[in-house]
Structure 1
Amino acid sequence: MRLVILGGGGFRVPLVYGALLGDRGEGRVTRVVLYDPDPARLSAITRVLAEQAAGVPDAPGVTATTDLDEALRGADFVFSAIRVGGLEGRAEDERVAFAEGVLGQETVGAGGIAYGLRTVPVADALARRVALLAPDAWVINFTNPAGLVTEAMSRHLGDRVIGICDSPVGLGRRIARVLGADPERAWIDYVGLNHLGWVRGLRVDGRDELPRLLADPDLLGSFEEGRLFGAEWLRSLGAIPNEYLHYYYFNREAVRAHRESDPTRGAFLRDQQARFYDGVRSPGTPALAAWDRTRAEREATYMAENRETAGAGEREPEDLSGGYEKVALALMRAIARDERATLILNVRNGATLSALDAEAVIEVPCAVGASGAHPVSVDPLPGHATGLVCAVKAVEREVLTAARTGSRAAAVKAFALHPLVDSVTVARRLLDGYLAVHPGLAYLA
């Protein structure tokens, strides 16, 4: 099979290739095509992959190109892993938001809206190109904000685009680990939007083990989300939220911690990855070792401000090894080989959540096989969660409208309607601030 990675010069591409190296099954990926408009980044990542493949028999061949059409022709699977505006754009998203006293995180709040406004037009154009040149390909979307971007692409690709995220899988595995259950045998009742979901049950052999966890303060304090949210709040919810809900439930504390962080997360990653890419330009630099060191530091500092605010401590060693590449490989296997699997994915709602329309992309367990990913039937969310999901989905729809029509009013409305932006006046200033630093938003001027 031929796999195309859009954003092939991205830092996390070696995670995907590492997963492919371990796949020896029939119908596996034999050719990887990296597409990126930046030849220097392509060169750096190609070097890392070459070192990964050293000594591995029948490793998937790798080619790199800056020609999108050349990359897409003949594709069986396409991974969309782009970052419009780069990490410099992420750092600016944070700076502008924090100056207004609101959250600048790349997928949540003002920062997520700014990133979406930059990314959706590009993702839309990519989806159109895939539909024209590789109409039978399956597109797996890694690009954040994952649910929003997947919904944008689905307007051209239908159910052949599927969004993935490793947060729900990681959360489910942590809960199973604490409960002494096998994650492979557990049914994880997870429902919501990307970075806005809740584990409401974890069933093993038909028995829901989550009440046992919620009733035990020691167990709750033994894993990351338990420490992040606190036992009392989790018992009040009767569920375990995705870690990104810390930005909603403890917004003031999160904004304060992030504003006081120097550098911000985006600026840290911008500078860290610049050092990596600059370093591997030298032919004598061991590219894979440099990548490993950079990745370890990146993973260890993930959501560090939130953990510090909550006194949650360091990340567990088991959570430092990535995860989204494993979800992607499982998804490809299930589709290509009809290996039936249940995975938590971002797909069109259909009739799954009655509070949302059929075209809304949601994040739920899906039955996956040769015909794609199909959301399973789930119980309705409680009122507080439904309200939050509907509010954030309304924001996403305004972003899609702004990207499609160039409407400044829709962009302001997206900012103003978000639960973490507390003033229409602030929403207007946010858009003005982002227009001043992002040339890619000129279509809204």
Structure 2
Amino acid sequence: MAEGLKIAVIGGGSSYTPEIVEGFIRKYDSLPVRELWLVDIEEGRHKLEIVGALAQRMVARSGLPIQVHLTLDRRKAIEGADFVSTQLRVGLLEARKWDEHIPNLHGVIGQETTGPGGMMKALRTIPVLLDICRDIEELSPNAWLLNFTNPAGMVTEAIHRHSRVRSIGLCNAPIGLQKWLSGKYGVSAERIFTEFVGLNHLHWVTRIEVNGEDKLPELLNRREEYSGKNVPATEWDADFLRSFGGLPSYYLKYYYMTDAMLAEQLESLRANGTRAEVVKRVEDELFELYKDPNLQEKPKQLEKRGGAYYSEAAVHLMESLHNDRRDIQTLNVANGGTLDFLPKDACIEVNCVVTGQGPLPLPVTRVPEQAKGLIHAVKTYERLTIAAAVEGSRDLALQAMAAHPLVPSVGVAKVLLAEMLERNRPYLPAFFK
């Protein structure tokens, strides 16, 4: 085999692709990519051609010997790959629109990865990812699958439990927090240590040290926060934060400030439409820019998307696995015995040392007692959802919906489930046997 790596990006027509291409160009010395395969499905062909042409211009400008292939043939892309990265959205933004809108109609949080919307996204996505895993098992059994597809924790757990593929889940929130702290304290990321405890989109940062000095109390006192583009910045209660003793992920606002967040969603829905519709406008604008034959770099506007920096996290992880770096990264991995109140095969989001053989989760030094109940409750919902997705079971789906802390009653759970499954009928044939 020629020197260099083969990387397949599934969902290659995504608006995020220029960011990952930029990462491969920047890190070429330590991560020598020989072939980059961007794969999409027929419905995504148009976007794949536009973003793929930009990727080819970026590589040409860099002068590096990376071949960029565009294809609708997933198996060809996966065959012999060293890394497979997934960034796909089953049902596209249209499906996301209903994930957000239907719960709002019933007075429930409508969000892409949290609550009933996240559940539908998981039901659509898990079977597709497991199907991709069958191809990887057959065509590139030693490949690492880096999964960014949301809900990343649930998808990664489903892969761990129902396939033999070596898979790691990733989110852009931890790297976003590091960048925010770097800017705030004017130090490089190496001088910052943060400890994450919890699940994907349900984590607390229980230690923040800058140059070895504990900065958590002052960050909690000031109620300053790093917030994502996709989650509005509603103020936390000062007493609550201080007494909790951890900096919460902004997704936790949906649980602790449900009324304020729901009011904000309904207001935003009236003003701008669902978040999916806002994203669609940003994305259309990006693809207009991508079409410009003179554009040879990632445009600044890409940072308006909620997933900014995700590909930096991806390239960083590939580089550490490839070079046995043994650095610390926050990843979605199997629990083992890290959090003793969760099952061993549950997927959690914690700091890991990244070796050439894969990530090793680090012991956590502090899990606030008051975080355990919510983590456990959401994990129960996640495991029921994974089982429902794998079995196509309406009974399990109802139990999952009713178990979610943001769904107020069984009655509401039944109504939401019926309406949302019907809306997703094209993507969920298993539920309509």
2:320 matched to 1:329?
no
2:286 matched to 1:255?
no
Cα offset for 1:139? 0.6
Whether the 8 Å contact between 1:171 and 1:242 is mirrored in structure 2 is no
What letter matches 2:58 in structure 1? Answer: Q
Q: Which residue among 415, 426, 432 is the counterpart of 2:401?
A: 415
> CA-to-partner distance for each residue in 1:72-120, whole Å, 9 max, x for gaps?
1010000011100000110011111111111111111111011111111
Correspondence for 1:307: none
Correspondence for 1:314: none
Q: Which residue among 166, 175, 187 is the counterpart of 2:172?
A: 166
Range moving further from structure 2, 158-167 or 114-123: 158-167
Q: Which runs of 5+ in 2 are unaligned?
A: none
- Mapped to 2, the partners of 1:120 and 1:72 lie a distance apart of 18
Cα offset for 1:158? 5.0
RMSD (Å) for aligned C-alpha atoms? 2.3
Cα offset for 1:233? 3.0
What letter matches 2:238 in structure 1? Answer: A
Cα offset for 1:172? 3.6
Evaluate the alpha carbon distance shift between residue 240 and residue 351 of structure 1 in structure 2; reply closer, same or farther with a 3 A threshold: same
Correspondence for 2:207: 201
Q: State TM-score, norm by structure 1.
A: 0.88
Q: Which runs of 5+ in 1 are unaligned?
A: 303-320
Evaluate the alpha carbon distance shift between residue 52 and residue 231 of structure 1 in structure 2; reply closer, same or farther with a 3 A threshold: farther
Evaluate the alpha carbon distance shift between residue 64 and residue 407 of structure 1 in structure 2; reply closer, same or farther with a 3 A threshold: same
- Mapped to 2, the partners of 1:330 and 1:61 lie a distance apart of 21
Correspondence for 1:305: none
Whether the 8 Å contact between 2:147 and 2:170 is mirrored in structure 1 is yes
- Mapped to 1, the partners of 2:6 and 2:149 lie a distance apart of 20
2:280 matched to 1:273?
no
Identity in percent: 36
Correspondence for 2:90: 84
Correspondence for 1:238: 245
Q: What SS does the corresponding residue of 2:46 show, helix, strand or coil?
A: helix
Evaluate the alpha carbon distance shift between residue 194 and residue 365 of structure 1 in structure 2; reply closer, same or farther with a 3 A threshold: same
Q: Which residue among 33, 36, 40 is the counterpart of 2:40?
A: 36
How many pairs does the alignment contain?
Answer: 418
> CA-to-partner distance for each residue in 1:233-253, whole Å, 9 max, x for gaps?
321211111111111111111
Q: State TM-score, norm by structure 2.
A: 0.90
Whether the 8 Å contact between 1:435 and 1:442 is mirrored in structure 2 is no
Q: What SS does the corresponding residue of 2:110 show, helix, strand or coil?
A: coil
Q: Which residue among 26, 30, 35 is the counterpart of 1:22?
A: 26
What letter matches 1:331 in structure 2? Answer: L
What letter matches 2:375 in structure 1? Answer: V
Correspondence for 1:214: 220
Evaluate the alpha carbon distance shift between residue 93 and residue 27 of structure 1 in structure 2; reply closer, same or farther with a 3 A threshold: closer
2:80 matched to 1:93?
no
- Mapped to 1, the partners of 2:109 and 2:419 lie a distance apart of 14
> CA-to-partner distance for each residue in 1:14-43, whole Å, 9 max, x for gaps?
110011111132452121001111321210
Correspondence for 1:387: 373
Whether the 8 Å contact between 1:8 and 1:42 is mirrored in structure 2 is yes
What letter matches 2:321 in structure 1? Answer: I
Cα offset for 1:443? 1.7
What letter matches 2:116 in structure 1? Answer: A
Whether the 8 Å contact between 2:84 and 2:145 is mirrored in structure 1 is yes
> CA-to-partner distance for each residue in 1:346-366, whole Å, 9 max, x for gaps?
001111000111111100000
2:334 matched to 1:348?
yes
> CA-to-partner distance for each residue in 1:214-266, whole Å, 9 max, x for gaps?
35x3xx44865997425333212111111111111111111121122221111
- Mapped to 2, the partners of 1:224 and 1:40 lie a distance apart of 32
Whether the 8 Å contact between 1:6 and 1:34 is mirrored in structure 2 is yes
Whether the 8 Å contact between 2:332 and 2:348 is mirrored in structure 1 is yes
Q: Which residue among 138, 144, 152 is the counterpart of 2:144?
A: 138
Q: What SS does the corresponding residue of 1:25 show, helix, strand or coil?
A: coil
- Mapped to 2, the partners of 1:295 and 1:375 lie a distance apart of 32
Equivalent runs, 1:307-326 vs 2, <5 Å:
322-326=308-312
Runs of 4+ in 1 over 6 A off after TM superposition: none
Cα offset for 1:270? 2.6
Evaluate the alpha carbon distance shift between residue 211 and residue 129 of structure 1 in structure 2; reply closer, same or farther with a 3 A threshold: same
